[in-house]
Amino acid sequence: MTGLARFSLNQQTVRQWSLPELATGCAAAGVRYVGLWRGPVQEYGAAAAGRLVRAHGLRVSSLCRGGFLTSPEPAARAAALADNRAAVEQAAELGAPVLVLVPGGLPPGSGDLPGARERVAEALAGLAPYAAGHGVRLAIEPLHPMYASDRSVVSTLRQALDLVERFPADQVGVVADSYHLWWDDTVPGQLARAGEGGRIAALQLADWVTPLPEGALLGRGQLGDGCVDLHRFFEQATAAGYRGPVEAEIFSTRLWAGDGAEVLAETLERYRRYVLARPEVAANPEIAHRVTEK
């Protein structure tokens, strides 16, 4: 299948697959990159996982995830920093060039977003050179504002860039994920800013569909099922100079209930139709976003 030179399958999209199934399935489909998660990698062994993917002709686009660096409590903070150093070591063992960091939410009882962001910056000051020493680049991922209290006090690409630009570009970049950023009209300008500074460390794609499920975590849309102009997002990142892997990362109970190979085939078909090509939106009557209540 052509057009897949930059496609990466994030393993959360096919959570039903083991690491060996992922490697075999991706190789069989002509995929060249995979995005991996710490849990399954740790279970398999990081070095062994690295060998496994390389043996199938694959490269790791990113390891998810470190972060959660907002606690002001000394013990929790020390534990978080140790965990992030372990994640860096795991990324290095695995051969992942990028470690994705989810900054973390507000500490219990706090409403101080700027203070929490500052603690992320303080943590990066130590972690960034540590990661660089291991050949790993950190990437701050701004998450949708609906996660601002419990997952990420960094909600916009602009906030993420304000944060990472305090560190060398080769040590700390950003993750641009369409699911988190699609609604924000400042993103085109901020993607250009990120590109100019060489700060786009990873690009991830999922579509936006409603209604959101309870907890708002596992309802991401398959590419083309929602309202995000994925082609435009991809083009903007490309115009900004990003030439790296493009990860499909879709947390979806619907996709997890299917056969892994079929989910991958569907994802690749959607990637070519909605990401690489300019889709004719009107030709997709099954588009899933809708007014759920007036």
Q: Footprint of a copy of itself on this chain (CB under 8 A)?
A: 68, 105-106, 108-114, 144-146, 148-151, 155, 159, 182-185, 208-217, 226-229, 281-282, 284-285, 287, 289-294
Nearer to a copy of itself, 12 or 155 (CB): 155
> C-beta of 1: minimal distance to a copy of itself in Å?
25
Nearer to a copy of itself, 129 or 145 (CB): 145
Nearer to a copy of itself, 74 or 108 (CB): 108
Residue 176 contacts residue 234 (beta carbons within 8 Å) = no
Nearer to a copy of itself, 89 or 162 (CB): 162
Among the listed residues 38, 48, 132, 149, the one whose alpha carbon sits nearest the alpha carbon of residue 83: 38
Fill in the DSSP letter of residue 140.
E
Tokens at 22, concatenated: 């992922």
> C-beta of 102: minimal distance to a copy of itself in Å?
9
> C-beta of 211: minimal distance to a copy of itself in Å?
4
> C-beta of 189: minimal distance to a copy of itself in Å?
13
Tokens at 238, concatenated: 């490309």
Among the listed residues 137, 140, 239, 139, the one whose alpha carbon sits nearest the alpha carbon of residue 191: 239
C-beta contacts of 109-114 below 8 A and 24+ residues apart = 110/72, 113/148, 113/153
What 3-state DSSP class applies to 173? strand
Nearer to a copy of itself, 95 or 226 (CB): 226
> C-beta of 158: minimal distance to a copy of itself in Å?
9
End-to-end CA distance of the chain: 43
What 3-state DSSP class applies to 45? coil
